[in-house]
A and B are shown apart, each in its own frame.
Chain A
């Protein structure tokens, strides 16, 4: 891309007005004051001649490329995709034309040129098992690559549940010893954008925030931007009134399911999942999992894979009870044993009983 972003957008048929509206929406989505929308628009539109665009390095570790697919394809072609034009994506294996040594060179060049300033995006978890041999790029383990790239980064974005929390690779029994970015890097600001995959607009929102203000947005305890992960799916769900009324779909094809009743009984994890799906939706606002008739899997929460089963209602036991029968038998046996002990005590008391005679009393 050459010249300011606004020109590029114009060439692609996006008017200035549309772009400003988009920035205002983004700002309001992130719960920023109205002035922030304008600031964002100006910062990004004015942007950056080719040489000054903020450098972004995207490292893929143990991942499935779903996060990249989500960002690049779901809204494409759209302003979301074009926001990427405001940055200089210097290394992204899936998207870059270069391969092999050339790609490595681009990576090291970008790291050197922009030391201390580049934004590092990571998707995928980092395997620590077998000294990290489970996943290597150019002969380097993911652990080495992450440490090296993190050193010069201004901030790190952990894209997707794998980078943010370990995700599916970390699922029990975690054969590769997978960990999250924040398990390794402790001295850099880390923004977690979990989801499997994350919502594209969340990604662009965070990027826009960073480009505009040069800071990371306000984060929650798990390092997630509060603007998008501040409320549960359940609280924002359009099916919530059915939950309150006690109307539940019992199977995926019963009358309740056809009437769009609450999916809690079918294992929806909406009540314990913090994400923006219910408000932002997916595929340019077309739909989202619950609207399509399937409960939330809780994909933006740590260890969602091991949360006791996708189709098991939250209020049901996570595992079948194993001790109940044995415990009941032991309890009954204890009761019977004590019964015998009590009976024995009674009979011995009876046997030891001495009759008191008048003579005894007069002694």
Chain B
């Protein structure tokens, strides 16, 4: 298989398989999780300001008081790479063309130099977060194979995409094919690992906020 065949495969059958497994997994898990349900809480609800599902969705998006000082790497590193990923995935023109092709939705993108800079910052933040996970004894103790694995699968698409644009190490065609392949691996693994938080994060916050809100506890 030469470079062009490799690229055409990842753009064709490879993408088909990856998106197929992704959709299968996402629908399966969303239905499974949201259909679990809970026993109805028959106790009368208590009302307290700031205790509701919506409040928790927003509250948990900002660091609790004092935490940013106690754990700056976790918070700042986490923010930077999450926002960076969102910018790269949704505001790079070739990505928008793909999204438009798959969903019919499109929006304006950012100049490629800006995406380039954001990629470097994102890669840097991800490396810092990884170093912290290795260095910090508590984090290291809590880390399982799934954590290292999902970090790698998130890192690779950004790295290969940036290297393709910068013409590093391998010819652009091969690197582009590797980039698409790494995204396909991410898509396949996403529904079945902790990466599924991309779909459940706000739902679960709402859920917790609502349950505790009923008891009058803002969480």
Contact = CB atoms under 8 A, between A and B. Distances in A.
B23 A327 contact: yes
A104 interface: no
A334 B33 CA distance: 12
Interface stretch (A39-47, A81-89, A93-101, A302-310): A302-310
A332 B161 CA distance: 32
B109 interface: yes
A314 interface: yes
A317 B176 CA distance: 13
Contacts of B31: 332, 335-336, 338-339
B212 to A, nearest CB: 23
A324 interface: yes
B208 to A, nearest CB: 20
B28 A335 contact: yes
Contact of A319 (B13, B35, B97, B109): B13
B159 to A, nearest CB: 18
A243 interface: yes
A318 interface: yes
Contacts of B20: 321, 323-324, 326-327
A244 B111 contact: yes
B28 A303 contact: no
Nearest to A322: B16
Given A265-B97, A335-B35, A319 B16 contact: yes
Interface string B97-125: 11001100000111111000000000000
A246 B94 CA distance: 9
Interface centre among B17, B109, B113, B172 (most CB of A within 10 A): B172
B24 interface: yes
A318 B95 CA distance: 14
Contacts of A316: 11, 97-98, 101
A34 interface: no
B21 A272 contact: no
B93 A327 contact: no
B66 interface: no
Nearest to A303: B4
Contacts of A302: 2-5
B217 to A, nearest CB: 26
Contacts of A315: 94-95, 97-98
Contacts of B7: 272, 307
Nearest to B176: A272
Contacts of A335: 27-32, 35
Contacts of A90: none
Contact of A342 (B29, B32, B111): B32
Contacts of A317: 11-12, 15-16, 98, 101-102
A320 to B, nearest CB: 9
A304 B4 contact: yes
B24 A330 contact: yes
Given A302-B4, A331-B23, A335-B27, A246 B98 contact: no
A224 to B, nearest CB: 12
A334 B19 contact: no
Interface in A204-257: 221-222, 232, 234-235, 243-246, 248
Contacts of B71: none
Interface centre among A221, A222, A314 (most CB of B within 10 A): A314
B82 to A, nearest CB: 23
B5 to A, nearest CB: 6
B23 A328 contact: yes
Contacts of B25: 331
Contact of A327 (B24, B102, B171, B172): B24
Contact of A303 (B2, B27, B94): B2
A246 B4 contact: no
Contacts of A274: 171
A48 interface: no
A234 B152 CA distance: 30
Given A244-B111, A338-B32, A271 B172 contact: yes
Given A303-B8, A338-B32, A331 B111 contact: no
Contacts of A314: 11, 94, 176
Nearest to B24: A331
Given A332-B31, A342-B36, A272 B173 contact: yes
B172 to A, nearest CB: 6
Given A319-B12, A321-B19, A335-B28, A246 B112 contact: yes
A123 interface: no
Contacts of A342: 32, 35-36
Given A265-B97, A318-B11, A328-B23, A338 B172 contact: no
A204 B102 CA distance: 46
A313 B24 contact: no
Contact of A324 (B23, B110, B171): B23
Contact of A244 (B35, B101, B112): B112
Given A243-B112, A306-B5, A323-B16, 8 more contacts: A244-B113, A246-B109, A303-B4, A313-B94, A324-B16, A331-B24, A332-B27, A342-B35
5 contacts: A221-B171, A301-B4, A303-B4, A326-B20, A335-B29
Counting from the closest, the 3 A-B pairs by CB-CB distance are A335-B31, A323-B20, A331-B27
